[in-house]
A and B are shown apart, each in its own frame.
Chain A
Amino acid sequence: MIISIASGKGGTGKTTVATNLAISLEKDVQFLDCDVEEPNAHLFLDPTIVKKEQVVAFVPQVDLEKCTFCRKCMDICRFGAMAVLKKDVMVFENLCHSCGGCFAVCSENAIMEKERSLGTIEHGVMDHISFTNGRLEIGQVMVPPIIKKVRSFTNFETITIIDAPPGTSCPVIAAMKGADFVLLVTEPTPFGLHDLKLAVETVKLLGIPHGLVINRAGLGNDDVKSYAKKQEIPILMEIPFDKKIAKIYSNGQMIVDSLPGYREKFQELFDKIMQLMENRENR
């Protein structure tokens, strides 16, 4: 069972909901932090890191002894990553998407695959939570391969909680696709609503059942609620706008450890998700 936590807009409380939900469950949970540009969940869960590994992509390396400078590799490359000169071939590794086109067309076997580092993956544990996150290397742009690598560790025997990145483009898709449920976190403000609508379109495109958490409830207006009602998106939890909660978050602490009643509220949230999934299966 994979629950992906997403939002459209950044800073609405994805990580807060994901980490507090994970810690509240009284069973084994896997936590995958897929916000690889700005991973934050480890700051709250504080897992003991047991293993680190590199995420690599393959880029071409040309053997100039074998190369006949025929330009086939340059012609097939849609990303402008190769430039064939008179007696040299330049490879722009940062532009390469590792599609393998150049390897496939080279009739002289002059192209070898070289590894390029995109980022790192960390595995850790914290009580009942097994934790994995990805971290994009500074200056790199290939985000989806790192997210896919993080997700390759999915343990289908347990509950998996994915902390997704903001937005609606390829990184978010990589963090949502194949999830059983998407929990959308929003705030009741015009920006929150605008980006929620985009997130809902994204989830609908992928055909994944979804529900809503309204964070900072009471801060803005009721437009998010009317929208959810109209779209028949169930509101599964509301977290009030409260400076105390903001302060707890700012120190890297968990709401469920600091305020009474919240552990139960997050357990309820989980039960509601399970109930929705069950109803869906019965239909």
Chain B
Amino acid sequence: MKELVILSGKGGTGKTSITAAFASLADNMVCCDADVDAADLHLILKPDFKKVHDFKAGHRAIIDPEKCTQCGQCIDLCRFDAVKDIFEIDSIECEGCGVCVDLCLEKAIDFSENICGQWYISSTRFGPMVHARLGIAQENSGKLVSHVRQKAKALAEKKKLNFILTDGPPGIGCPVIASIGQATAILIIAEPTVSGLHDMERVAQLSRHFNIPAMVCINKYDLNVDQTTNIEKFAESANIAVVGKIAFDPIFTQSMIQAKTIFEYDNNSQVSKNVRQVWENILSRNKFNTSFIGEI
């Protein structure tokens, strides 16, 4: 089983559009949207949301005013300032640690399991897809990311598919770390801007920290060729392969508006050729299609 995770550090560099394009090229694939906070891949892949499941994680503390004697112990114990002076718990601040629940002398604090989102197993025109939606202002995004990846893996095993294509979240924090554990490789979509370079450097450090091989694809490369050179230099110094460059072209937006991949929108465009080349480079460099994964 192979899994390629698409990351970028910085948001808006083209992760999702490129993932959608790859989904149409990949064989024997399960697609996985690990950006559970602001998932967008479904806008192009149009999954059928066939199987909907609640995602339960963590607990939410609620004080029962009937039992509460207002002793103030919970206020003193809470390190997250979630217990208000009127003996109500601010659910947004509550970390779900349960310390107030366990140590309340009156057992006046309820701690029911929290439904913090939904996850789905769907069919798309390119194959099965596992995706999710985290509830607004919910915690546990990392747990939901791990969950959809586990489900994608189980689905791939069941359907005897050997490749998982995962669209990752932006940043380098909890959900990103949850999206890369055990992955075969990371593809960083970088853009030739000072922030694009800065942010890809942090993702590269993260990949090294967790010992997951990384590659880089430079999107909008001709927007700023000097910055593109800087990315290439950095990649070389960090021993990260540059697997291709994609031209700056609003065609990505035009195809997005029609809910199409760039190939479906215009198969012969320069951008389509670029993306196809990137895909071929990934497959050949990293032997994603054989059982050998050492030499990435």
Contact = CB atoms under 8 A, between A and B. Distances in A.
B170 A138 contact: no
A198 B142 CA distance: 18
Contact of A246 (B206, B223, B256): B223
A15 B11 CA distance: 11
Nearest to A253: B194
Contacts of B37: 166-169
Contacts of B80: 99
B243 interface: no
B79 to A, nearest CB: 5
Contact of B10 (A11, A139, A187, A221): A11
Contact of A97 (B10, B92, B95, B137): B95
Interface string A1-26: 00000001111100100000000000
A76 interface: yes
Interface residues of A, number: 58
A169 B224 contact: no
Q: How large is the interface on B (under 10, 10 to 19, 20 to 34, 35 or more residues)?
A: 35 or more
Given A43-B195, A167-B38, A10 B10 contact: yes
A101 B10 contact: no
A26 to B, nearest CB: 26
B86 interface: no
A209 to B, nearest CB: 18
A189 B256 contact: yes
A14 to B, nearest CB: 9
A168 B286 CA distance: 35
B133 to A, nearest CB: 9
A202 B137 contact: yes
Given A139-B206, A198-B38, A246-B223, A11 B11 contact: yes
B157 interface: no
17 contacts: A9-B12, A11-B11, A40-B198, A43-B195, A99-B97, A100-B79, A136-B173, A166-B37, A187-B12, A190-B43, A191-B256, A206-B92, A220-B253, A220-B256, A221-B257, A250-B193, A251-B224
Given A169-B175, A202-B136, 9 more contacts: A37-B202, A97-B97, A100-B79, A138-B172, A139-B210, A168-B136, A169-B37, A169-B141, A250-B224
